[in-house]
Chain A
Amino acid sequence: GAVVSQHPSWVICKSGTSVKIECRSLDFQATTMFWYRQFPKQSLMLMATSNEGSKATYEQGVEKDKFLINHASLTLSTLTVTSAHPEDSSFYICSAGGLRTGELFFGEGSRLTVL
């Protein structure tokens, strides 16, 4: 299957700082990428759909000014958690794939801990 790479895998930061997470499609071009968040023992919650060359589409309840998404190329989308707080601590996972088939390929995930 296709390969999606995420970086960093782990990040610990102080409250109030910003953290950037990168998501790369390594062997295919992804016009659309999806960002999910997963709290412990809960399911994946779609945060936003990242569209290459245009603004991201955010799900209801997700603050677009706090979770900045940039999809500047066909192989890279970034999620920046601005002014992070402890409640933002979570497992962030990006994915890419085709809505035609619906099959998603996931990055390895990024575990964010805000102190």
Chain B
Amino acid sequence: QKEVEQNSGPLSVPEGAIASLNCTYSDRGSQSFFWYRQYSGKSPELIMSIYSNGDKEDGRFTAQLNKASQYVSLLIRDSQPSDSATYLCAVNFRSASKIIFGSGTRLSIRP
């Protein structure tokens, strides 16, 4: 089992719709979870962080965490073409003191 697993996509969503990105992780003791956005040829940039079970909203972005299911997701409302990028799920593996990234999901917003 991969430590942090994401569907590689590509995920194609029409402009204005909701994009849903999912991630599962293997370390049950993990406490910190992050979503990064990466445009082609650029470094990742932090979109959302979440530490507690439930939902966390920031503008058009909502992160959802379910530690019992070892599952974290990112919802993007009112998707815009500028949201087209690769979204990386990252988990702080406290047991190993390192942050592990999933393989990323390529999101494409079609006009």
Contact = CB atoms under 8 A, between A and B. Distances in A.
Contacts of B43: 93, 106-109
Nearest to B101: A44
Contact of A102 (B41, B42, B99, B103): B99
Contact of A103 (B46, B101, B102, B104): B46
Given A102-B32, A103-B34, A44 B44 contact: yes
Contact of A109 (B42, B88, B101, B102): B42
Contacts of A13: none
B49 A101 contact: yes
B45 interface: yes
Interface residues of A, number: 22
Contacts of B34: 102-104
A93 B88 CA distance: 15
B36 to A, nearest CB: 8
A46 B3 CA distance: 13
B92 A99 contact: yes
A25 interface: no
A34 interface: yes
B65 interface: no
B43 to A, nearest CB: 4
B99 A43 contact: no
Size category, B interface? 20 to 34
Contacts of B102: 43
Given A43-B103, A43-B104, A44-B101, A102 B49 contact: yes
A49 interface: yes
Nearest to B42: A109
21 contacts: A1-B46, A43-B88, A43-B102, A44-B44, A44-B88, A44-B101, A46-B98, A91-B41, A99-B92, A99-B99, A102-B31, A102-B32, A102-B33, A102-B49, A102-B90, A103-B49, A104-B34, A104-B99, A105-B46, A106-B44, A111-B41
A54 interface: no
Interface in B62-111: 88, 90, 92, 94, 97-104
Contacts of A101: 32, 49
